[in-house]
Structure 1
Amino acid sequence: MSPFRYTGSLAAAMVAALVLLMIAAGCTGTGTTGPTVAPGDTNRTASITDGFGRNVTVPAPLESVVCSGSGCLRYLVYLQGQDLVVGVDDIEKKEQAIEGRPYALAYGSQFKDLPLIGEFRGKDDPEKILAVNPQLIFKTGSSGTAYGTSAAEADKLQEKTGIPVVAFPYGSLRNDAEKAEMYGGLRTMGQVLGKEDRAEEVIAYIKETMADLERRTGDIPEEEQKAVYVGGISSAGAHGIISTEPAYPPFLWVHAKNVAAGLGTAHADVAKEAIVDWDPEYIFIDVGTTQMEGGGAIGELKNDAALQGLSASKNGRVYGVLPYNFYSTNYETVLADAYFIGKTLYPDRFADVDPTEKADEIYTFFLGKPVFSDLNGQYGNLGFTGITL
């Protein structure tokens, strides 16, 4: 027999004390923002801090969302949350003469059938959003542009609908500050969706892709770096040869000398005389320019006497790249363009890369589907090839 014997009253007292200790331990708090359940309520919620420092209580898990603003739905597709969408803005329902958004090529038929929630670029219609009754609204836009968003706009939409709004800046890959915005936006969306692992996977893929380009080209001596220009850059529509990006990311990543780099702006229209003076060794044309009458930048290179005298024109070094500015930046296309440009300028360093195959690898990772052929076909298959003048 055990040397320890307890009376009924003592045992009961010990059980009661143990229960009190367990309750006390559960009430100390851990500082987490995880799901909570109210007594008698099966609805779970989580508290998160969005990209503007707003504390938002969101349902968990989510079963229905809408996306507001340029690029918001794209990020949702990157995180494999497209099946949660219950309403879209009008650009997703519009029949485009040319569709330059890879995510829309992959899932456009699915999105077109959904109810309307407002106009594109974040011009929401609260009544239409209420009609589809999502559990949550994601809202984003590019900072410093007319299409950006803010904490005040998110608060206003949340007040009008009574639906939680999680907002964040869209960001970019142009510099460290905007990369932080982009990665933060993906992480915020991933936290809300319960897809934190996928968000980290996307961020890691982007970083590794840029690191691979750096490994291939980072040691090229400055005197051996090719002088290049990109024209016809799409920006809220198609543009001609003078439309360029002084900080064009693919040039930065493969260490090419962008002759327009000194302009110091995200987008610039330059004088044709400047292009002639620069006389780049290679010219890349954003084939979105073909939507313009006369073929845009390609027509200008063919018909303008001054541009015909450019070294790149005379030496057959004019190439087409896919447009990535279409309802904000399509990052999968930026990365794909970089490999084609790297292969064109430094073939020995990209000997193991087929740019078309690499593009479909990238599209499949981001979107789940290899859409290079569909996208290039929108532009007469002029992407990733030499352009005959």
Structure 2
Amino acid sequence: MIKRMMVKKYILGMILIILLGVPLFARGSAQGIRQPLPSRPEIPPGWKPFTIIDMGGREALIERPVQRVYAINLIGDTFIRAIDISKAAGWANPYTRDEKRYMGKYAQLPMLGGWMGSSPTANLEELVKADIDVIFVTAAALKIGPAEHSMADTIQSQTGITTVLISNNLYDTGNALRLMGKVMELEERGELLAAYCDTELAKMETALAKISEKERKRIYYAEGIQGLHTDPSGSSHAQIFDFMRAINVADVEEFTGNGMHGQGAVSLEQVIAWDPEIILRNTTMTQANPSAAVQAILQNPDWAGIKAVKERKVYLTPLLPTNWVDRPPSINRILGMKWLANLFYPDHFSFDMRSEAKEYFRLFYNLELNNEELDHILGNN
């Protein structure tokens, strides 16, 4: 029965490749090194297909033991890497040389493309060739809505591959890990990571309740090549600042043009008028040089009148293994919130970030960081 479903699934995918125009997908070949797919182990005796309810309330049928999974964006990639990187079929987005240092041999998996913005890069033919069991549709928006439902349904109908909707809301981190662990048939691993996230979020929320209104910091989130793109309060990309009770000074609507969420352009005159106390510089997914990005603001006379610049409170968000704050807004925010707590409220928090980073990397990525690696990760911060 299961073997017949697998054959039907493959044939459906190949027919769709031939017949459909498929505007959702790019048509180039996947980048990266494609190794021959390992043979599938025999289906364990007694194993049966099962159905789960995803985070959008959809039913998803898991038709065979899950060996290979794929996520449509970097948000989901980080979840897969934490739960079991060996089950990744490929990646949605290219990684930097620094990021690849923490991925081992799996850095060489093919770039299958993804759904990020108005020009998706995912390749239908390559997805079918990759013999994927489940596609995780990790939402870019703060809430799963009709657009995310439509995307998941369309991807599933065009590939013949089961899709599972996953929330990227910070408060849903634990449940996202539990669900993905269940789908990947690694429930104990998913629960271990989920329990850690739930506990750390709850402890932080309790501690933040003691922060008075006067102590809340006015921050500007500087994105883009020149630091003149940002995300306001209420955006998924700025949710961690809202959680940390910071006052996000960006008095703008979230940019959603061209299918994108976030990084709306602002003028330097606006930033000067907002006069933030702290500037957080994120260079992820830009061509800006991380090591020079902070100095580019501190040494620019046009920024000199801003309080954060005058007091030299301009900080680069930690970038490895992926950004701790945003781009992607994913599980590393659990570590990032501790870094921000020290930064925003030093009278209330004094996390040993070297110790915290070592524990987090050990638990989530099965990596033992040495002092040199810790220096590299935290050195610019």
TM norm structure 1? 0.66
Distance across 2 between alignment mates of 1:313 and 1:131: 51
Aligned to 1:73: 77
1:83 aligns to 2:91 (yes or no)? no
Aligned to 2:303: 307
- Tell me, yes or no, if the aligned pair for 2:294 and 2:314 is still in contact at 8 Å: no
- The 5 A counterparts of 1:146-295 are 150-162=148-160, 164-173=161-170, 179-180=171-172, 185-231=176-222, 233=223, 238-247=224-233, 248-260=238-250, 262-263=251-252, 265=254, 267-286=263-282, 288=284, 291-292=287-288, 295=292
Distance across 1 between alignment mates of 2:79 and 2:227: 30
Deviation at 1:272, TM superposition (A): 1.6
Distance across 2 between alignment mates of 1:185 and 1:224: 32
Q: In structure 1, what residue type is equivalent to 2:252?
A: L
- Of 48, 57, 62, 2:61 maps to 57
TM norm structure 2? 0.67
- Tell me, yes or no, if the aligned pair for 1:276 and 1:307 is still in contact at 8 Å: yes
Which secondary structure state, in structure 2, belongs to the residue aligned with residue 88 of structure 1? coil
1:130 aligns to 2:128 (yes or no)? yes
Q: Which string of whole-angstrom CA distances, capped at 9 and with x for unpartnered residues, describes residues 236-265 of structure 1?
A: xx43232233333443344333333x4353
| Identical aligned residues as a percent | 22
Deviation at 1:222, TM superposition (A): 1.4
Taking a change above 3 Å as real, the CA distance of residues 376 and 59 of structure 1, as seen in their structure-2 partners, is farther
Taking a change above 3 Å as real, the CA distance of residues 141 and 346 of structure 1, as seen in their structure-2 partners, is closer
Taking a change above 3 Å as real, the CA distance of residues 208 and 239 of structure 1, as seen in their structure-2 partners, is farther
Q: Which string of whole-angstrom CA distances, capped at 9 and with x for unpartnered residues, describes residues 182-230 of structure 1?
A: 5554343222222334334433322322333333332222123333333
- Tell me, yes or no, if the aligned pair for 1:141 and 1:149 is still in contact at 8 Å: no
Taking a change above 3 Å as real, the CA distance of residues 291 and 354 of structure 1, as seen in their structure-2 partners, is farther
Taking a change above 3 Å as real, the CA distance of residues 354 and 299 of structure 1, as seen in their structure-2 partners, is same
Deviation at 1:289, TM superposition (A): 9.0
Q: CA RMSD in A?
A: 3.7
1:331 aligns to 2:348 (yes or no)? no
- Tell me, yes or no, if the aligned pair for 1:155 and 1:165 is still in contact at 8 Å: no
Deviation at 1:267, TM superposition (A): 4.5
- Tell me, yes or no, if the aligned pair for 1:140 and 1:149 is still in contact at 8 Å: no
Deviation at 1:165, TM superposition (A): 1.0
Aligned to 1:96: 96
Aligned to 2:48: 44
Aligned to 1:317: 313
Q: For this pair of structures, how many residues does the alignment match? A: 314
Aligned to 1:119: 113
1:298 aligns to 2:268 (yes or no)? no
- Tell me, yes or no, if the aligned pair for 1:301 and 1:307 is still in contact at 8 Å: yes
Taking a change above 3 Å as real, the CA distance of residues 311 and 170 of structure 1, as seen in their structure-2 partners, is same
Deviation at 1:58, TM superposition (A): 1.6
Aligned to 1:348: 347
Distance across 2 between alignment mates of 1:361 and 1:189: 22
Q: In structure 1, what residue type is equivalent to 2:299?
A: K
Structure 2 residue runs of 5 or longer lacking an equivalent are 1-44, 255-261
Structure 1 residue runs of 5 or longer lacking an equivalent are 1-40, 174-178, 385-389
Distance across 2 between alignment mates of 1:204 and 1:172: 16
Aligned to 1:13: none
